[in-house]
Amino acid sequence: MRLVVDSGSTKADWIALDNKGNIQFTVTTLGLNPEVLEKEEMLERMSQRFDISHNRDLVTHLFFYGAGCGTDRMKNFLAGVFREYFSNAEVVVHEDTYAAVYATTPRGEEAIVCILGTGSNCSYFDGKELHQKVQSLGYIAMDDCSGNRFGRHLIRAYYFGTMPIELAEKFEKEYDLDPDTIKHNFYKVPNPNAYLATFAKFLIQHKDHEFIRAIIVKEMQFFVDHYIMQYENCKTIPVHFIGSIAYYLKRELQEILTQNELILGNVYRKPIDGLINYHTV
């Protein structure tokens, strides 16, 4: 049995395939980001799902694509956790960008591939290898144009009093904005980046409001300038996107890329379906 896993910080999609590529089961767990989780929490999240724990000894190959796996140290740490849990499996760990590449880009073609979900990333794929000019430093320093970045903007605007009153009133009804609640989720609960990203739902719901649109445009232009434009050939090859932010703000993405003479390619919410095809061909 082969397990293919696509994990963000918020959640992870698991698909089990037999030797012929038939789906044995699909399941969703909380995300397994090694940058923000300890080994014990990861093991607990896997053990909570019966399909995973019950079949762990049957797994022969595990292909994991995940947020927080951009360095060898994190890849090796996570691979060690999986080898302990799936003791009979060969384990391959890639950063989540590879999942986006394999899901969106036809084999052998060049593209710039971006992730805009809970976090963000941007890489160039030359048809064989992945190249990255901007090394992500995580949600505190980077993750521009991501769900957690948009959430940060909204919370700050609310507390600084710059959010229009009609939006602020709706924001209060939608979320618990007590400062103790917010700080508890920032400093006492795992995955503060995923918590921040929950506020992005509000941004998407009100994306046509002038105040919200200004935030979206500014973040997208920053992402274009500092991530996509790093690649000299960016205006001659497609720019693909994976992630809920890209998916629900596709119209806004199209506008910004067109203004910058960039070619918008495929935009998918999740890469997992493409990964099934990739691992069964």
Residue 281 has a pLDDT of 62
Distances (CA, A) of 148 to 103, 116, 152, 192, 198: 23, 10, 6, 9, 8
Residue with the two structure tokens 């980077």: 142
Residue 273 has a pLDDT of 73
Residue 83 has a pLDDT of 96
The tokens for 265 are: 């390619």
CATH number of 2-99+272-278: 3.30.420.40
Helix (H, G, I), strand (E, B) or coil at 262: coil
With a cut of 70, which residues of the chain have pLDDT below it? 281
pLDDT 10s digits, 80-95? 999 999 999 999 999 8
Give yes or no for a contact between 111 and 105, defined as CB atoms under 8 angstroms apart.
yes
The tokens for 272 are: 């997992």
Radius of gyration over alpha carbons of the chain, in Å? 19
Residue 95 has a pLDDT of 86
Residue with the two structure tokens 């400093």: 187
pTM recorded for the entire structure: 0.79
Residue 259 has a pLDDT of 98
